[in-house]
């Protein structure tokens, strides 16, 4: 089961679109390194999922990893490079900081949800400013002028 599908509900039909987008991103990420051979996709799956989980999402302002675990992920390659952060690593201080981050994870999730809702409102406002509201009364005749009304031989699912 896809992680996004787990949160899909009837109250939020747009979540189905999120599942499709997520699945499309994963399939696209798998296709790129495979090129022509189209085999060995299982070997690429863990890398693609890691990239998906640690990529910054514009809508929430966070990575999926940080929303689950409360802190940003550190890629294994960074651990091998001698940096100040790696050289001065203190396990007890790190564990305390991780516990502290977990205390604020619900607040971060709430802030991400608020940011995502605000983002959706701005997108809706942008698209709705060109919409003209029309009201029709029952029994009023309306001329339909669209491609669906000009369709031919579409069977019982076609327009009346």
* Cβ within 8 Å of residue 16, ≥6 positions away: 8
CB 112 within 8 A of CB 66: no
Q: What is the 3-state secondary structure (H, E, C) of the chain?
A: CCCCHHHCECCECHHHHHHHHHHHHHHHHHHHHHCCCCCCHHHHHHHHHHHHHHCCECCCCECHHHHHHCCCCCCHHHHHCCCHHHHCCCHHHHHHHHHHHHHCHHHHHHHHHHHHHHHHHHHHHHHHCCCCCCCCCCCCCCCCCCHHHHCCCCHHHCCC
Residues 34-81: tens digit of each pLDDT:
766 667 778 888 888 888 888 888 888 888 888 888 888 877 777 777
Q: What is the pLDDT of residue 61?
A: 83
Q: Could you give the CA distance from residue 24 to residue 102 in angstroms, rounded to a whole number?
A: 31
Q: What is the pLDDT of residue 157?
A: 52
Report, in angstroms and rounded to the nearest whole number, the Rg of the chain calculated over CA atoms.
24
Q: What is the pLDDT of residue 85?
A: 74
**Segments of the chain scoring below 70 in pLDDT:** 1-16, 35-38, 144-160
Does pTM surpass 0.75?
no
Q: What is the pLDDT of residue 43?
A: 81
């Amino acid at each position: 089961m896809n992680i996004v599908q787990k949160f899909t509900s009837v109250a939020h039909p747009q979540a189905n679109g999120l599942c499709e987008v997520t699945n499309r991103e994963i399939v696209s990420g798998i296709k790129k390194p495979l090129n022509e051979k189209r085999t060995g996709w299982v070997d690429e799956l863990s890398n693609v999922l890691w990239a998906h989980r640690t990529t910054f999402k514009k809508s929430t302002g966070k990575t999926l990893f940080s929303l689950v675990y409360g802190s940003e992920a550190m890629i294994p390659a960074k651990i091998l490079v001698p940096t100040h952060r790696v050289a001065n690593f203190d396990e007890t201080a790190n564990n305390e900081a991780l516990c502290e981050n977990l205390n604020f994870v619900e607040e971060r999730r709430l802030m991400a949800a608020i940011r995502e809702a605000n983002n959706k409102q701005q997108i809706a406002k942008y698209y709705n400013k060109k919409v003209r509201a029309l009201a029709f009364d029952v029994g009023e005749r309306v001329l339909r002028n669209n491609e669906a009304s000009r369709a031919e031989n579409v069977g019982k699912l076609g327009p009346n």
